[in-house]
Structures are given as C-alpha cells and as structure tokens.
Amino acid sequence: SRRQDSQMNDSPFSKRTTTFVGLIVLFLLTLLFFTLGRSYFRIAAALAIAFGLLGLVLTVQTFRTHEPRLHRLFFLTTGIAAAMIPTSALLHNLVYALCILFFGDRFWADGSDEPFFFLLAIVVGPALFVIGAVGSAILLIKGSATR
C-alpha cells in the first residue's frame, strides 16, 4: 500500500498537479506585484518569466500524459496561455522597437502603440489562462472526489 502511494505521488499526473498549483500561485503573485507599482516592476517581470516557463512545463507534461480529451484541452489551454502572456509582452516590445528603428520615431506619431501582441498579453492570454485554470481545477477536484 505504501509503495502504491509512493508510485501515485511520482506519477505524471501528480507532478502536473504540482506544476498547475505553482502556476496559479505565480499568476496571483505576478498580478499582485504588477498592481503594487513601478518600484516592484523587476520582481513582477521575473515572476512573469517564471510563470511563462512553468506554462511551458505544464504543456509538455500534458502532452506526455494519456487522458480524456477534455482534461488535455483544459490543461493545454492553461499551459499555452501561461506561456503566451510573457511571450506576447516581449513580442509587443520587440515589434514596437523594430518599427521605430525601421520607420523612425514619428512612426507612432498619433501616440498609438503596437496593439496586436499587447492585446494578446493583456486580454486574451489572461482570459484563456483563467478559463483553462478553472476548468482544470474543476476536473482535478472532481477526480479527487471520485477516488
């Protein structure tokens, strides 16, 4: 029985659950530090990078498991969205800088900014993350209740 419990804790599902919980914690900490102001920006940025990397880990872990399609869908949505948020923020800054480099400072004369990657990082990514995380959490709770 003890050996079975040990094997259960070492399963890909328990490692993925630990990764998933870590993502939730990092997401909440990142939100907290971004709302605290500019003096905490470096901490928030480091947390966001860790969040994105952990999203990649969750995605790989999910691809390695064999489970029902709905479970894979929610966990992949969570992981991919987590990786997409900091990646889109970096791409937003890169595209903005490249446009200024190639077309000059007056390229964004009306005060606008590069909107596509910005919207992905600020609206789409977090919304998909929350949807995936809520769905994944419900499936985890439902699964643990039936055991």
pLDDT single digits (tens) 37-50: 899 999 999 999 99
What average pLDDT score do residues 8-31 get?
85
Rounded CA-CA distance 140/78 in Å is: 13
Residue closest to 57 by CA, chosen among 17, 6, 8, 10: 17
Task: Look at residue 90 in the predicted model and tell me its pLDDT.
Answer: 93
Give residue 16's pLDDT band: very low, low, confident or very high (50, 70, 90): very high
Give residue 110's pLDDT band: very low, low, confident or very high (50, 70, 90): low
Tens-place pLDDT, residues 20-36: 999 999 999 999 999 99
Choose between 113 and 19: higher pLDDT: 19
Give residue 6's pLDDT band: very low, low, confident or very high (50, 70, 90): very low
Q: Is the dihedral of CA 18, 24, 27, 31 positive or negative?
A: negative
Task: Look at residue 147 in the predicted model and tell me its pLDDT.
Answer: 60
Task: Look at residue 136 in the predicted model and tell me its pLDDT.
Answer: 96
Percent over 90 (pLDDT), the chain: 65
